[in-house]
Structure 1
Amino acid sequence: MNTDLDTDTASAQAIFQSYGGMEGLAETFALPAQPLPAGWRAFFFRIYPGLLVAATIALAATWLSQQYRSPVMLFALLFGMTFHFLHEEGRCVAGIEFSSKAVLRVGVALLGARITATQILELGGMPIATVVGGILSTIALGAFAAQRLGLSRSFGVLSGGAVGICGASAALAIASVLPRTNESERDTILTVVTVTVLSTIAMIAYPLFVTLVGLDHVHAGIFLGGTIHDVAQVVGAGYSISPQTGDVATYVKLLRVTMLLPVVFSIAFVVGRRGKGGQGSTKAKLPLFLVGFAGLVALNSLGVLPKFASDAANEVSRWCLVTAIAALGMKTSFKDLAAVGWRPIALMVLETAWIAAVTFVAVKFAY
């Protein structure tokens, strides 16, 4: 069945041929066929159109984020979704798939370059226990409440991990090891959109809250770093109170990012054990991007990684994640998101309220 795109293409070719006839050219004129390159060159020529589109969207989203001081992930998602038609067919499909998977994994692996063991150990035992307890209980709550709301357990784990660990980055990493279903891409996009919006609201509301309840700079930093979803929002909220609060909040947030490694590996292990058909399996594959993440943390902790290399890795990681989220946006339509209803959003609001309550109780009464 012909589509409107086919009709427009045929019309354009007919017009071009008529112009060629007017210039004295044969209507059957065609450029000689060029042999396709082999190997990695063939792979590059197959993916570069979609990769270029995703990178361009990432560039535009970054510029707007800097101009209007808004979450870059949200801009990249929304822009990507407006170009959903590029993923339906054509030359961009392969590059969009590559960006949403391979580029994503590179970005997650490079997150390890911002973390050192010293930063984590300097926090002491109680903040570590608070963060670990908050993350694990939030993921458990997500898995439990999702089924009560008629949602899949996978979505509960995905949303709980995103809320508990580091927002959009955690959602992308966890989604890469969860079982693939027809709703996987939609669930990932919905999680990223919702967690980004909730993180922005928290960045505005939580500093007012910690001031109202009278937390000092250190305790306020622990609360902000242990509850706000995205790293950028944690930094914004913490330093809006004081430099000390900002420093503590950043370190606590990096501790949460560190938990990405054991959480994603545990999920990958469980998924590998269950297998596609729910049968037990004796093998669980370790995702290579988690190996890269752990390796960079180790190198950075040992002081082997120079500062310029760490800064470069952080910048490349940011670009990779924004490009990946733009590609995921192109794989999702507004219609699909609108069809999910209110339950996923209610679940993520519940998870956000839960981790805030757990962290506040720990900060207020356990320190």
Structure 2
Amino acid sequence: MKPLKRTAERLFPGLIIAGLVAVTAQFLSEHYGAPAMLMAILLGISLQFLSEETRTEPGVSFAAKDLLRFGVALLGARISVEMLQDLGPVLVGLIVAGVILTILLGTLIGRLFGRDTLFSFLTAGSVAICGASAAMAIASILPKGKTRERDLVFTVVIVTVLSTVAMIFYPILSDRIGLDLRQSGVFLGGTIHDVAQVVGAGYSISDETGDLATVVKLIRVTMLAPVVLISSVFLRKYAEPGEARPPLVPGFVLAFLIIATLNSFHLLPEVLRDLAAVVSRWALLTAIAAVGMKTSIPRILQVGGPAIGLLVAQSLFLAGFVLIGALMLG
């Protein structure tokens, strides 16, 4: 028990501070409507000096890495095979194709914006799958680099801002171009980056649209595990000499798949599913606060305007592809 006690004492100061930042971000989100993820990372950046303090650094690092993976693994409790059956093969094919093509094209065009392959893949995966959560999961398997944490914070901030903008304007766009309730649900769920913003946009139109948009969004979340699993194999070649390569099968991805399988076979009681959803959200919120604490504003500004243009281009491609597909489905 003594080693466990020493580890807890070493991690507690930084971990509790990251948790307090997460609680503050959630309070701001509930009372002022600001995205919780965005608030967490901005508040975390303001406390960047704590990631360099001897007492708090271990806990902050633990939250930014291990707690993050724990939160992603628990997302599996929200996934089930029944969601795929309810939507039908054509609609599922459209969503899956949108994710895959956005990642492929978004990675390929990175050079046009002056960004390397790893950065482009990070942003494309974030846009295609589930915003900040996907960015954090993908970043955890990327080979380490001097700018990796900076790139992650930049991606989370920009993709959350874009998701918030989409939450406001995409429902208006759906109405202007004459999408029906079902088409609107497909469009919103297939294009907006973060789950919370999908829910906000969908239910602003109708309950039917909100329900469908949420299910479509969760199909995109389902893609997180296979994308991370497959990409971890190809990304190993980017590891620098002497650097430990990412594992072929990340443990948190296996946990995600196991939990999703248990949920699909109705082996997870409803109370456990609800608990996993709550714990996952708080774990991810605390993790992103810790990631913010490990990054400084001057380093974020070094990323530059073209990187924002890359994220916008990736988002517009996904929106255009899903919109055309929704119109063709009638």
Q: Which TM-score bucket, shorter chain as reference?
A: over 0.9
Aligned to 1:201: 165
Instruction: Say if 1:271 and 1:278 are closer, same or farther in 2 by CA, change over 3 A.
Output: farther
Task: Tell me which residue corresponds to 2:113.
Answer: 149
Matched, 1:161 2:125: yes
Alignment deviations for residues 311-356 of structure 1 (CA, whole Å, 9 cap, x no partner): 0000000000000000000000111111221011100000000000
Within the alignment, does 1:344 sit opposite 2:307 as a pair? yes
1:357 matched to 2:326: no
> Which stretches of structure 1, 4 residues or longer, exceed 2 Å deviation after superposition?
274-279, 282-285
Long gaps (5+) in structure 1: 1-36
**Unaligned ranges ≥5, structure 2:** none
Matched, 1:215 2:160: no
Give the CA deviation at 1:38: 3.8
Q: Which residue of 2 aligns with 1:252?
A: 216
Question: Cα offset for 1:138?
Answer: 1.0
Structure 1: distance between partners of 2:248 and 2:189: 32
Q: Structure 2 counterpart of 1:199, which letter? A: S
Aligned positions, number: 329
1:170-205 Cα offsets, whole Å, 9 max, x none, are 000000001110000000000000000000000000
**Residue 326, structure 1, aligned to residue 289, structure 2:** yes
Alpha-carbon distance between aligned partners in 2 of 1:254 and 1:278, rounded to the nearest angstrom: 38
Please tell me the residue identity of whatever aligns with 1:206. Y
- Percent identity of the aligned residues? 45
Residue of structure 2 equivalent to 1:16: none
TM-score, normalized by length of structure 2? 0.96
Q: Once the two structures are superposed, what CA deviation does each residue of 1:83-110 show, in whole Å capped at 9, x if it has no partner?
A: 0011123210111100000000000000
1:190 corresponding residue in structure 2: 154
Structure 1 segment 27-38 matched on structure 2, within 5 A: 38=2
**Which one has the largest radius of gyration?**
1
Q: Equivalent residue for 1:308?
A: 271
* Corresponding residue number in structure 2 for 1:115: 79
Q: Provide the rounded CA distance (Å) in 2 between the counterparts of 1:220 and 1:163.
A: 19
RMSD, aligned α-carbons: 1.7
**CA offsets 1:138-178 (integer angstroms, 9 cap, x no match):** 11122111122221111110000000000000000000001
Cα contact 1:178–1:267 (8 A) shared by 2: no
**1-side partners of 2:133 and 2:238: how far apart?**
25
Give the Cα–Cα distance (whole angstroms) in 1 for the partners of residues 257 and 50 of structure 2. Answer: 35
Specify the SS of the correspondent of 1:122.
Answer: helix
Residues 78 and 308 of structure 1: CA distance in aligned 2, closer, same or farther (over 3 Å): same
- Partner in structure 1 of residue 69 of structure 2: 105
